[in-house]
Chains A and B, each alone.
Chain A
């Protein structure tokens, strides 16, 4: 979050925002779980029980087919169950981090996530876990609002003095570098409107190249111009806010961020 010794009101405010972001995600997850339980899961259970009632009066071969449909419906619906939330009461800091990173980073922001946690001797408290998780999410999101990186490594080491977070991100050899405002897209005509967030928004903005290729492809067919500078410039303010030190390899698009969270007890008053 900050270099050692620089903790202050601004850092506390930033940490609070990160904590609130995670709290909001937890709340949203709980609301979705409730909605799923009180709606579709109840309804589908009712359908399954009704099917069973119906099948009892049917000939054996037809009843067997209905029974197979019941099993398929149950098994398919079971895949919709949301996983246990990271911040479930009773979870250890390690479980919170592993679940949080697995559920909210892997498959969302990167294709494959590697996690290395050296935290057991001086484990982070709940607020620190939230800040660490949010930091990883925000850095990855801001580095590329569209594509997933191919691989990322999150390494966290905690000590009584502070917590060190290292994030290393790499892209597939044939893939794009992180999305940059000067990327152009083979966009359909319907996508040739400004993205909600402007040129840095979650989608390629309009441009001459996209107009020229309006009928040729989909918004997913993004063609990069080789420019690491623009996405790095975009990432830098967020990294600065998070107290992250950035390093980038312009040749491959790989980059890394280092963040240090001073522990409360080690911070100057």
Chain B
């Protein structure tokens, strides 16, 4: 929730979900950026990513994986943000994936990135 607030303050419209089914219900492929925690309770965020990639092979270009462990398995071709991270790290990563420059952190209409998980 704190991450969602940081992104909201950075000008993004954010939707969140706590598990894979909830994330899929948000239709994440329609979002500009999909942020996935590797650990979603008993589920693996990488499973969500694989499901999304099966639907859209290019989704990795707009996915950001959050992980707290170097050893966590994760896809090779996806941007990764290692915990702990600063708010600015998160915003920079999301803006980078969406093609926004770090200085463009102000509110912006019409952008619908999301955080799933």
Q: Which residues of A pack against B, CB within 8 Å?
A: 30, 33-34, 36-38, 41-42, 44-53, 56, 67, 70-71, 73-74, 77-78, 81-85, 88-89
B71 x A52 contact (CB < 8 A): no
List of A residues within 8 angstroms of B89 by Cβ: 74
Cross-chain pairs A/B with CB under 8 angstroms, 21 sampled: A36-B69, A37-B67, A37-B68, A37-B69, A44-B83, A44-B84, A48-B84, A48-B86, A49-B2, A52-B88, A53-B5, A70-B86, A70-B87, A73-B84, A74-B89, A81-B69, A81-B70, A81-B82, A82-B71, A83-B70, A84-B71
B88 x A84 contact (CB < 8 A): no
In the bound assembly, the distance between CA atoms of A90 and B38 in angstroms comes to 19
In the bound assembly, the distance between CA atoms of A89 and B74 in angstroms comes to 12
Q: Chain A at the B interface: mostly helix, strand, loop or mixed?
A: helix
B5 x A78 contact (CB < 8 A): no
Q: Chain B at the A interface: mostly helix, strand, loop or mixed?
A: mixed
In the bound assembly, the distance between CA atoms of A220 and B74 in angstroms comes to 43
In the bound assembly, the distance between CA atoms of A42 and B67 in angstroms comes to 9
Kindly report which residue of chain B lies nearest to residue A32, judged by CB atoms. B69
- Smallest CB–CB gap between A123 and chain B, Å? 22
In the bound assembly, the distance between CA atoms of A38 and B2 in angstroms comes to 16
List of B residues within 8 angstroms of A73 by Cβ: 84
B64-99 interface mask toward A, CB cutoff 8 Å, 1 = contact, 0 = none?
Answer: 000111111100000000111111111000000000
In the bound assembly, the distance between CA atoms of A67 and B86 in angstroms comes to 9
Whether B6 is near chain A, meaning CB under 8 Å from some CB there, is yes
In the bound assembly, the distance between CA atoms of A38 and B5 in angstroms comes to 21
List of B residues within 8 angstroms of A45 by Cβ: 2, 68, 83-85
- Smallest CB–CB gap between A80 and chain B, Å? 9
Q: Which 6 A-B pairs have the closest CB atoms?
A: A52-B87, A37-B68, A41-B68, A49-B2, A44-B84, A45-B84
- Smallest CB–CB gap between B80 and chain A, Å? 12
Whether B50 is near chain A, meaning CB under 8 Å from some CB there, is no
- Say yes or no: A53-B69 contact (C-beta < 8 A), given A38-B39, A78-B82: no
In the bound assembly, the distance between CA atoms of A47 and B84 in angstroms comes to 9
List of A residues within 8 angstroms of B88 by Cβ: 52, 67, 70
B6 x A52 contact (CB < 8 A): yes
Kindly report which residue of chain A lies nearest to residue B3, judged by CB atoms. A49
B9 x A56 contact (CB < 8 A): yes
Q: A41-B69, A45-B2, A49-B86 are in contact. List 12 more A-B contacts (CB 8 A).
A: A30-B71, A34-B69, A45-B84, A48-B86, A49-B6, A49-B87, A53-B5, A70-B86, A74-B84, A77-B84, A78-B82, A89-B73
In the bound assembly, the distance between CA atoms of A30 and B39 in angstroms comes to 14
A37 x B85 contact (CB < 8 A): no
Most chain A CB within 10 A, of B5, B39, B70, B83, is at: B83
List of A residues within 8 angstroms of B85 by Cβ: 45, 48, 74
B87 x A48 contact (CB < 8 A): yes
B69 x A50 contact (CB < 8 A): no
- Say yes or no: A53-B83 contact (C-beta < 8 A), given A38-B39, A88-B71: no
List of A residues within 8 angstroms of B73 by Cβ: 89
List of A residues within 8 angstroms of B84 by Cβ: 41, 44-45, 47-48, 73-74, 77-78
- Smallest CB–CB gap between B4 and chain A, Å? 10
- Smallest CB–CB gap between B97 and chain A, Å? 19
- Smallest CB–CB gap between B115 and chain A, Å? 13
List of A residues within 8 angstroms of B83 by Cβ: 37, 41-42, 44-45
Kindly report which residue of chain B lies nearest to residue A85, judged by CB atoms. B71
In the bound assembly, the distance between CA atoms of A82 and B82 in angstroms comes to 12
